[in-house]
Amino acid sequence: MRKKMIAGNWKMHKTNAEAVRLVTQLRRMLEKKPARKTEVVVCPPFTALVPVAELLKGSKIQLGAQNIFWEEEGAFTGEVSARMVKSAGAKYVIIGHSERRRYFKEDENIINKKIRLALKNKLRVIHCVGETLEEREHNLTQDIIINQLEWGLKGFTADDFKRIVIAYEPVWAIGTGKTATPEQAQEVHAFIREILNTLYGSQVGTRITILYGGSVKPENAAGLLSQPDVDGALVGGACLNARSFFQIIQASEGA
């Protein structure tokens, strides 16, 4: 049975004090009404990893980082390594987010290096894939997804995939208020499974957890999470409020 997951990507939001307040609220809510079928992951900015990790001790909420650099260490001013985020308490790391691709020009070669280092350092990976609005309008969604899966994950084994989660994020739905319909999300998620089985072995796509990301809110979560190939969500803006994030977790529990 595939694992269900709701992960929150805080992006560049929350000071340490604000992060502590948010996680404290979320933890209290989940202690009153635990998520029994859904793994919950929060991904604050680097600066808040340590204080959030301290708050999460003894809870089932997992900690993730939003990025790592593609080298182990060295003269890379301003960058953060896999070993650093691991030492700060992170269990997961988001790699390949469309904002990293768009603003920092990360390509599949860089993404592949990052995933390789994350796995080497015993981190679990949330690997993001997805097409832009222009690519969708030109019927290139499947071509883009194949390229990102084939080259971003090139060289990995079936065992490696046990520590990788895929997040399908249509770029046109991130931070825009637009959301793929449940049917659109299901179509691409099913396609991702098919491609993973073809590229990496008959059981990889079948067993892997695939999240949907792109303006997921309490109002639309249940419809998206009810789809057979949608195993959870990578949540953006709605995870910055403990109540709305908790409501999405509850939608996963009920799906």
Q: Please pick, among 39, 99, 169, 189, the residue that the annotation labels catalytic.
A: 169
Stated as kind and residue range, the H or E segment containing 211 is strand 210-213
> φ and ψ at 223, to 5 degrees?
-65, -40
Q: Please pick, among 39, 97, 108, 189, the residue that the annotation labels catalytic.
A: 97
Nearest partner of 242 among 49, 33, 3, judged by Cα: 33
**Distance (Å, rounded) from C-alpha 93 to C-alpha 115?**
9
**Distance (Å, rounded) from C-alpha 104 to C-alpha 122?**
25
Q: Give the contacts of 209 (CB within 8 A, at least 6 positions apart).
A: 2, 3, 4, 5, 165, 166, 231, 232
**Distance (Å, rounded) from C-alpha 223 to C-alpha 232?**
11
Is 163 within 8 Å of 172 (Cβ atoms)? no
61: left (phi over 0), alpha (psi -120 to 50) or beta: beta
Is 215 within 8 Å of 9 (Cβ atoms)? no
Catalytic residue list contains 97: yes
| DSSP H helical ranges for 57-181 | 82-87, 98-104, 108-120, 133-137, 141-152
Catalytic residue list contains 31: no
- As given in the structure block, the two tokens for residue 191 are 């396609």
Please give the positions annotated as active site.
97, 169
